[in-house]
Amino acid sequence: MNFIEQLNNINHETLKNIYKELGNISDDIFIKSYSKLMEFVNRSIIIKDKITLIGIAHLVYGWMPTMLDNIDENFINDDTSVKNIWDGIISGSLEKSFLESIKKITNNSIIGGSKLLHFINPKDYAIIDSNVLKYILNIKHVDHYNNIDNYIIYMKKLKELENNRAEMEQIKNIFHESNKNLHEFSDLRYIEMALFYSGKKL
């Protein structure tokens, strides 16, 4: 099956079962660092300029971890381009042209771009990374994945799952039964985390 077919197999029951099996992850380094980095980003985005944007891009690449070494300098030095990026992130844009501009400041990577988008606007964007992709594609190793069209499809699927409020509350409740000391995340983060931790096991 291809990416879209595999993605469409994921439903609310899938996510519930993942969290029932996952148990307590409150001491996991990804969870611990995520909360601290998210708080830092929330403090930083009071100033929405190119310095903040590039600073957060470096931060999420350090979390990956991969060195951020490919930024389109002409693009990031253009004030209109920077403003358009901030406007797009805050509005939750999934326009292909906007996502192409995000790649210009994140190593030409939609995976890195998705992390930048999520940390600035976690309610409207979810991360896609190699572990998420391993779970969706049901394979043990992902060599390279940089498909904006599939990221858009992924986001639409996650938002479809998110829109069922009753199911999402059940998923969150199952997660917090085993992780009582963890704070609330965005709904998209609950979905993505389930896929991430399942992919890590492959």
Please count the other Cβ atoms lying within 10 Å of the Cβ belonging to residue 80. 7
Find the largest Cα–Cα distance for the chain. Answer: 49
Indicate if the pLDDT at residue 144 is higher than 70: no
Provide the residue type at 188 as one letter: L
Distance CA 180, CA 191 (A): 18
The top-scoring range by mean pLDDT among 103-107, 124-128, 138-142, 145-149 is 124-128
Cut 0.85: pTM above it: yes
Residue range 35-83, pLDDT digits in tens:
899 999 999 999 999 999 999 999 988 876 667 778 888 898 999 999 9
Say how many domains are in the chain.
1
Query: 172 is in which domain, residue-wise?
Result: 3-200
- Please name the residue that has the structure tokens 């409207």: 124
Distance CA 87, CA 70 (A): 22
Indicate if the pLDDT at residue 143 is higher than 80: no
Assign 3-state DSSP to the chain and report helix, strand, coil percentages, each to 5: 65, 0, 35
